[in-house]
A and B are shown apart, each in its own frame.
Chain A
């Protein structure tokens, strides 16, 4: 006989899941997105509240046990404290690291829930499917935890995470396969023999090792793919945990997050014209850069004053930001310069390549922080047909995403969709030097007839242009 309370609790869980879906749906426009996020908060409050109600009700039925309410409330308090600290203190430029850390924390939480629930389960509840789900949750969660930790360390540019073990690719792949096979064997042994503790620990250790070997060789411009993929994993781990504790709300929410991560991953891969396998196992771009004097023979240097004059007469200016803008913290300077241009009657737009920066949407967040209106942020598809009507395109800290070599055959970036900056009437490239981007190839754009180079720190150069523009009056 189903009790009324159970029905109410289940329906409330379902409501929470619906709120999550609605919340993400509201994210389809910046105006409604804040409300969508609040829907998510309400959903989470409902879900957590119902869980409390359920265990409190259980306690009132079984009178011989007392709940460690102090522990629960304490844990919630600690978690809230650290969560608030992270959410309020972290700079917008550090957002990729923060998201990576949250991914890892989520993965670890899934592992711990699976472990606790397998340890505490009664003998008659140790079903095959529960054990398998627990094993999968432990495996994915462990990979996510260690992988995210390494990704965050690399993004923070900590020296410890920069070096990877110099193994030949073949051996690395073989090791990965071996460890994966070991995990699957552990899951099988756990499901069939029921030696939960040993096998689960084995799965976690192997999962951690896998997370390490999978993420260490990847870096630089491939980071957006890794973060999106780990985001997906943290969701899948939560979904697997849902099978362990038999709660559909976990399955629904987890698979939502999983789908979100997978979509972003595939978008990132498409924006680089590479397959996911190539990104994960390609073993980094070969840095076979030689001084390409031939390509760069016709490079023209310019000065901030010349650029200011160029901008002064321009009607339409497009900024093309890349990771270099984030490194130089130049977003506010760019926004100020844009404001000046607008006051002089020009229009300003920002052309943002999908893989610019170190995570999906990285540039957009930085520019939004600098008070740039979202209607000025243009995607690749929106801005590319318009580039021949652009008077001045200012490339700041971007390289591979504007490299015309991508249109040719036989280069490392062939077929990658790029911003057609070279179609603009005049191009200014602000860069420290002529060094190549992540793909390791020379960029003919720098030497094009309509392009001039402005060497120096992004922020300083933009500020110099600003002052020069002011002095023109």
Chain B
């Protein structure tokens, strides 16, 4: 651009041109500095921030921490993610879950036992809206492989017979195996369990603040380097809905020591004969949940719970989801987005949730 600048008075100002140029540059620098984005951030960031990314658990993950031991904490978190992925991946035939699914007798590791206990407990508490035994149907639909197909009604009802979280009521001390025809997938809870582990690691290493996003499952540790809460944007599930039009986000949650986990049909889906089929299957029907909700965000100190509930409340639908919240409001809050773009936010988020869009706080008043 500089080469194209023409200065019509140049010939009359030969002696002062240089002075003018110098003074002009100085004023330009002053003017620019004021608008320089991020200038204040550089000042606030006197501690190193370490960020890494990793593809694991069939998703993209990023891990970030600041403070003196940030490097060690982030490396330890990556190692933990790989370790847990190796335990639970359905694609890795040596994983404990893959071996259980082949109906081998498996001596469970402590982590597998504890995630199974959580999965069963949440499954029972949500009356089966969350159910890790949905795996054979996930496979039949092709959501585990990307080889999508719509199962026949017959095949679906055959497989549904073995979807039953209470079938997992088993003694997990010592070697144990799954009941006949029952198979499991920890995909709906593993990332939450893993982000909780990352928070524990951040705590052990004494980092000043940190954040992880495991495929859009976010969990925050303390605050940003400048002491302010992490700003977690909630993805707009469908910008083509008139009430949500043109907005990238449904809103922003200011989070500190909280998991913010969202489930929506947009995460994984395919189209067949003009119909869109998404990956959140209703364990009651074996079909993609059609509850009128298009996105559910759970905010909780418990990432494992938040992960499992984001899918279960999606399956339940608005009315049941809010009923469930009423009896569990001490352990989580929720943001619900309906097909028509209506946004409902539970009372505990009042003050930390903000949005350009219209939303309602539940319960009113």
Same assembly: no
Residues of B in contact with A (beta carbons under 8 Å apart): none
Interface residues of A (CB under 8 A from B): none
